[in-house]
A and B are shown apart, each in its own frame.
Chain A
Amino acid sequence: MNHRRTLTGTLVAAALLASGCTGSGGSSKGADAKAPDDPAQVSGTIKVLTHRTDIVQDGTMKKYADTFNKTYPKVKVEFEALTDYEAEVKIRMNTENYGDVLMIPGVIKKNDYPKFFASLGTEEELGKKYRFTDFTTVDGKVYGQTTNGGTPGFVYNKKVWAEAGVTDWPTSPSEFLTALKAIKSKTDAVPYYTNFAAQWPLTSWTYVDGSVSCDNAATTRLAEGDPWAQGEDLRVGDTLLYDIVKQGLIEKDPTTTNWEGSKPRLAKGEIATAWLGSWAVLQFRQAAEKAGANPDDIGFMPFPAQVDGTFCAVLSPDYSQAVNINSDHKEAARAWIDWFSTESGYADDNLLPSIRKDAPLPEALKPYEDAGVKLIELDDAKGGLVKEIDSASEVGLYGPAYRQDLVDLARGAKDGSLDDFLADLSERWTEAQKSVGS
């Protein structure tokens, strides 16, 4: 009996010890990663953590690094591509070993940025040249710089849409539904593909936010208001998704969808439409080439809603790169971040908007310019609060679960009505607002 008591004692002691360890990690140092003055003098080996496993494997990243070395000959860049980026980096961030440059994972609270990353400078200064700086600003200092911008929209097959007799972009959700119905009756294509099983494509529907109201304070409205009140952006988006599924305009079995398989199928005209982001255009065009279809058939259109006769599209940042606060080569790391996001040509290569305010729009968004689509940038001052409310309420705006439930509800695999479903979300959201706000 005595033995057992000592064992329990040891366990309790171990527990206290272990928890004490986690508590002491990562004291805030508030370091800076200054941009180097003379590129020839910067030296060191830096490790860059990235989620782009594809372009690390096919050597594209290596080519970028080689070009980088022409300007910064003494910096050696190594890449580490992580398949399940968010989950793996999150665990590594409990140690000091999370690369020299990394993409800021979504789980880090904005206010914690100064504890993990070195500052890149003041927002006042960087904000003049670059877009999206306020997404990573804490107390006037910027902690991350995104590699490129992007905008959500429908990737669609132009030929199929034309075959169905729809040549103009629909301007309202009901017109959009009519167009999908025309596609269903006049062509063999699946009007809309949910990518339900891949899960993450469904989260793109959250980025409807701002497109409907054309209001750059849409994020603040999420933090302070009810996102599923009548006429709010997310309600409009979710209702459209519900109606598309409810009216049978999707693939027959969403539970076994296949993301990689959907790319060539859309290119070949077996699928007409999918709500994704502008980053997807390049991937679908490449899939079209591989499948022997015409890459020019891949089109991109904004959310079917207009304010005063114009479409709105939200420009938002991709993953942001940051410098590890524990890095020994902060200057070299900073040099890589600046070079990669402004001079590498990464954004252009991927047909994505550059972060430089003076850069022209990429070719994939050319039709937007022609149609006079208004591009807006959301104010992200309340972005951190939105994430906290999201976690507290367990709604999961940035996770797939609630959209999967919505699709299940619409196709009758789950009981209930849309109104009740959205009302429940509203209730949980506003309830959490109270607890987080206090």
Chain B
Amino acid sequence: MPHTRTTDPSHAVKKVARPSTAAPRPPAPRRAPRKVRLWRKLTPWLFLAAPLVLLITFTYAPVANMLAYSFTDWDGVSPELSYIGADNYIEIFTRPELFQVFFVSGYYLAASAIQIGVALYFATILSFNIRFRNLFKGILFFPYLINGVAIGFVFLYFFQDGGTLDSVLALFGHESDRAWLGTSTSANISLASVSVWRYTGLNFVLFLGAIQSIPGELYEAAELDGANRWHQFRYIIAPGIRPVLSLSVILSISGSLSVFEIPYIMTGGATGTETFVIQTVKLAFQFNKTGLASAAAVVLLLIILAVTWLQRRLVPDDRVDLV
């Protein structure tokens, strides 16, 4: 992200620290012998070798494999597979019911709007000097550290009828005894709120980092000019963290389209909580249509790329210049 460079305080410090008159240039070095030159060219690649090998083996090769499978009728285990061209893609686009599951993503999209709002609110508050600031930071970030499977199980008990949520509500005199995962709407809302609970911490930390990179003198200057907290947020913080904000929005949209573990563990996609990824997993492992499932995965990837591209076009990423 080149745009963060301008807001980087360390950069500004360096500028000041530099002596005004440059030191005399050292004499130009003589041309190194051939062998040395070769080594010099090779050195960066030697350093890069390990990460490149890892990246290719574990990212690009599997993706290439998946692309190849998406043009076959492979069932995932049989030694025979035949190339069937674009048939899988034709099947996906001629079966509208495969795309109906994207409605479920709407719940998660709405949830991530709330999530970003909450994270932004807390990040702003906790970036000022407040008692127990670090404690609250820890509390907010903690859910993100918990393993997704564990979260699924914890919340399964939480939403059980007569479970934790019902008992807590009863403490406040709301005698409720309901199946939170019982109907499609309430199940989706429950699951989406679990995802808010889990990911707010991540957004919060990103925002906090961005806010803290805004130079402190700006607030002082603003306060002298009579700006209150809201003004400071509106005219200093919000524009200052704009790149991170737009990154969070992109992440949450692609995340909403590809929700998986929470609904898969908690409901297995029953009661109208099936998402596109769960559907793909079912195609691959329940109906043994690995070829078709690979094609579905490729389609999801393309959709996410398209959405991201569109968003970058609509909200261009301006350079931030606060000073």
A19 CB-CB contact with B under 8 Å = yes
Asked if B75 and A408 make an inter-chain contact with CB atoms under 8 angstroms apart, the answer reads no
Q: Is the interface of B mostly helix, strand, loop or mixed?
A: loop
Asked if B285 and A87 make an inter-chain contact with CB atoms under 8 angstroms apart, the answer reads yes
Asked if B65 and A19 make an inter-chain contact with CB atoms under 8 angstroms apart, the answer reads yes
B113 CB-CB contact with A under 8 Å = no
Asked if A413 and B182 make an inter-chain contact with CB atoms under 8 angstroms apart, the answer reads yes
- CB contact between A18 and one of B65, B156, B268, B285 (< 8 Å): that residue: B65
The interface residues of chain A lying within 8 Å CB-to-CB of B65 are 15, 18-19
- CB contact between B271 and one of A109, A115, A255, A394 (< 8 Å): that residue: A255
Asked if A256 and B156 make an inter-chain contact with CB atoms under 8 angstroms apart, the answer reads yes
- CB contact between B179 and one of A14, A25, A255 (< 8 Å): that residue: A255
The smallest beta-carbon distance between A31 and chain B, in angstroms, is 15
Number of interface residues of B (CB under 8 A): 43
- CB contact between A15 and one of B67, B75, B81, B156 (< 8 Å): that residue: B67
Known: A256-B156, A394-B287, A401-B286. A115 touches B64 (CB 8 A): no
Asked if A414 and B271 make an inter-chain contact with CB atoms under 8 angstroms apart, the answer reads yes
A275 CB-CB contact with B under 8 Å = no
Q: Mark A106-140, 1 if CB is under 8 A from B, else 0.
A: 01110010010000000000000000000000000
Q: Mark B80-91, 1 if CB is under 8 A from A, else 0.
A: 110000000000
Asked if A19 and B184 make an inter-chain contact with CB atoms under 8 angstroms apart, the answer reads no
- CB contact between B60 and one of A14, A23, A413 (< 8 Å): that residue: A14
The interface residues of chain A lying within 8 Å CB-to-CB of B157 are 256
Asked if A22 and B156 make an inter-chain contact with CB atoms under 8 angstroms apart, the answer reads no
Q: Mark B156-195, 1 if CB is under 8 A from A, else 0.
A: 1101110100000000000000010111100100000000
**A interface bracket (residues with beta carbon within 8 Å of B):** 35 or more
Asked if A14 and B64 make an inter-chain contact with CB atoms under 8 angstroms apart, the answer reads yes
B148 CB-CB contact with A under 8 Å = no
B267 to A, closest residue via Cβ: A255
The interface residues of chain B lying within 8 Å CB-to-CB of A196 are 270
- CB contact between A414 and one of B79, B184, B268 (< 8 Å): that residue: B184
B125 CB-CB contact with A under 8 Å = no
The smallest beta-carbon distance between A239 and chain B, in angstroms, is 20
Known: A14-B64, A87-B285. A107 touches B77 (CB 8 A): yes
A162 CB-CB contact with B under 8 Å = no
A26 CB-CB contact with B under 8 Å = yes
B138 CB-CB contact with A under 8 Å = no
Asked if A27 and B67 make an inter-chain contact with CB atoms under 8 angstroms apart, the answer reads no
Asked if A413 and B61 make an inter-chain contact with CB atoms under 8 angstroms apart, the answer reads no
Which A65-89 residues sit within 8 Å CB-CB of chain B?
87
B residues sitting closer than 8 Å to A (CB atoms) are 56, 60-61, 63-65, 67-69, 72, 74-81, 156-157, 159-161, 163, 179, 181-184, 187, 267-272, 282-283, 285-289
Q: Which 5 A-B pairs have the closest CB atoms?
A: A253-B179, A15-B64, A26-B79, A255-B181, A19-B68
16 more CB-based (< 8 A) A-B contacts, given A11-B60, A15-B64, A197-B267: A14-B60, A15-B67, A18-B68, A19-B72, A23-B80, A26-B79, A90-B285, A108-B78, A255-B187, A256-B156, A256-B179, A394-B287, A404-B268, A408-B271, A414-B184, A414-B271
Q: Can you list 19 A-B contacts with CB-CB less than 8 angstroms, sorted by A residue number?
A: A11-B60, A11-B63, A15-B65, A19-B69, A27-B79, A90-B285, A112-B78, A115-B79, A197-B268, A253-B160, A255-B179, A255-B181, A256-B159, A256-B181, A391-B75, A391-B288, A394-B287, A401-B282, A413-B184
